[in-house]
Structure 1
Amino acid sequence: MNTPMFDESVLATIDDSTAAADSTGGRRRPLMFVNAAIHTLDPVIGDLAAADLLLGGDVIVGVGPGLHTAATDDEAIVIDCTGLTIVPAVVDGVAAAGLRTRPADRVGTLTPGNPATFAVVPGNIALEKIIWRPEQAAAIVVDGEIALFNGERRSPAPVEPDRSGPRAVDGPYLGMWIDETGFIHQELTADGRYDETRGGRPHAYQGSFWIDGDRIVYRDDLGFWAYGRFVDDVLHHAGYVFHRR
């Protein structure tokens, strides 16, 4: 498949603008994607046959026809998307069905004020294909940053933690955690295992855990996954609040 290619000089201009802003503490030039078919998934704005999308940092600040006429005034970097389609890269099915009561809750819609996260794709490429084969996209923008350009990643693929077997764990969160009611006692041990006592019933749940920053992910021996978060040395997990003993 031949992915429509952007002029590589556009990417160089974006990088130069970013470097200049970072070195001086100044403002980055805004990005403007022009002449695209845009599926906003916003029930008021709808689909646009030939329109422009203006970014201000990590948010969308304008969408619709005619924005490109002010590109010079805004010092925008213009990216021509003729023949391409812009679609949200995050889709909230409930919002798309019109079941969100407030416009601010319509996550993923290409609406001014929402995060600038979207894909620029050939017209015949479905969004679900981009999920599994992102290189088919001409560009993918995540929170205003171009993560993929001309089918190539601009940053390495994320490294996932090894969850294949036992391993040694070191960190500040090991030990016994007890919820505020005293019903659950959860012990995190240095071999990467957890053991829960519930209501005095020992070994109610057992399994493995992984800690990434302030987030903890559990895989129980029964097969289900769960997660929690540490906030100011307090563990929030499954609606319970735990303190270390």
Structure 2
Amino acid sequence: MSVTDTGTVSWNSKAFDEIVSNDAERPVLFTNARVLTMDPLIGTLPGADVLLVGALIVGVGPGIVTAAQDDNAIVVDCTGMTVVPAVVDTVALIGGRGRRSEYVATLTPGNAGDLLVVPDALAPDVASAQITLLSRPEQVRALVAAGRPVLWAGTDAPGRPSAPEAGIPAAQDMTGSPRVGVWIDKNDFLHQELTADGRYDETRGGRPHAYQGRYWIDGTRIDYLDDLGFWAFGEFQGEELHHAGYTMRLG
């Protein structure tokens, strides 16, 4: 490692440049790390590798680096580093999951490439690594989400996503949207009208205005803020709107 003129630690800078400009979806291999997978089958692996292809983890364990040249992988040397899941399942941390398949966030092949790289001294366990991220982010070597860097060598990665602004957003103008109209469930119990001014009005079992409020659509997700103060959500799946156990179609 070296220190730049601004005092920022330079860590695997060549590999980082290759990852940022990785338009060819080359694999990315984090190698020579202590890996706390949080997977009860795989466990903790000393001197191990984590291989990402796109947004997914495709391999975890020792010896993967031997295939790195064959696959034209970008290699990130993590000597002296610990790799942990970037998304923490606190229930799993205290052993509260009954089955391996129920673990929400582990460094398991097939799971999302969300990982955190921290010096060994600051990461005796997953909780300590997370505390380092929250309290001393300048000590973080890498924070990766879905295979893309968010932090690198303690600084923001270029082009990293930014969090949505806090607070309730302005009403959406849904004029002309194909999702405006009355959505009716298959039993004709729930009628949910989405209006062009970003409001909804529900009739339930013939009871008009059972719930009313504002809504926002982001991709296939719809969020509701009821005038009573509670939040709810739904999801558009093809021609259907799924919400609170109901499956609706435009009437």
TM-score range (shorter-chain normalised) is 0.7 to 0.9
**Cα distance, 1:86 vs structure 2:** 0.9
Matched residues, number: 235
Of the candidates 86, 89, 101, which is equivalent to residue 89 of structure 1? Answer: 86
**Cα distance, 1:169 vs structure 2:** 2.9
**Could you list the runs of 5+ residues in structure 1 that have no partner in the other structure?**
22-27
Question: Which residue number corresponds to residue 44 of structure 1?
Answer: 41
What percentage of aligned pairs have identical amino acids?
Answer: 51
CA distance in 1, matches of 2:134, 2:204: 40
**Could you list the runs of 5+ residues in structure 2 that have no partner in the other structure?**
1-6, 123-127
RMSD, matched Cα: 2.9
Of the candidates 127, 130, 154, which is equivalent to residue 127 of structure 1? Answer: 130
Matched, 1:54 2:51: yes
**Cα distance, 1:167 vs structure 2:** 5.2
**Structure 2-normalised TM-score?**
0.79
CA distance in 2, matches of 1:131, 1:114: 23
Q: SS of 2:112's equivalent?
A: coil
Matched, 1:200 2:198: no
**Cα distance, 1:46 vs structure 2:** 1.5
Q: Is the 8 A contact 2:132 2:140 kept in 1?
A: no
Q: 1:177-236: per-residue Cα shift (whole Å, max 9, x none)?
A: 222212222111222111112222222111110011221100112221111112222211
Q: SS of 1:126's equivalent?
A: helix
Q: 1:86-138: per-residue Cα shift (whole Å, max 9, x none)?
A: 1112233445526243x454332112332222111234253156368866532
**Structure 1-normalised TM-score?**
0.80
**Cα distance, 1:174 vs structure 2:** 1.4
Q: Is the 8 A contact 2:171 2:216 kept in 1?
A: no
The amino acid that maps onto 2:141 is A
The amino acid that maps onto 1:53 is V
Q: SS of 2:118's equivalent?
A: strand
Q: Is the 8 A contact 2:172 2:216 kept in 1?
A: no
CA distance in 1, matches of 2:49, 2:41: 17
Matched, 1:218 2:216: no
Matched, 1:182 2:182: no
CA distance in 1, matches of 2:182, 2:138: 45
Structure 1 residues 169 and 133, CA gap change in structure 2 (3 angstroms): farther
Q: 1:132-162: per-residue Cα shift (whole Å, max 9, x none)?
A: 8866532122222333322213324144597
Question: Which residue number corresponds to residue 3 of structure 2?
Answer: none
Q: SS of 2:241's equivalent?
A: strand
Of the candidates 199, 224, 244, which is equivalent to residue 238 of structure 1? Answer: 244
CA distance in 2, matches of 1:60, 1:131: 24
CA distance in 1, matches of 2:166, 2:236: 19
Stretch moving more, 160-169 or 226-235: 160-169
Q: SS of 1:178's equivalent?
A: strand
Matched, 1:117 2:114: yes
Q: SS of 2:32's equivalent?
A: strand
Of the candidates 132, 144, 154, which is equivalent to residue 141 of structure 1? Answer: 144
CA distance in 1, matches of 2:183, 2:62: 56
**Cα distance, 1:66 vs structure 2:** 3.8
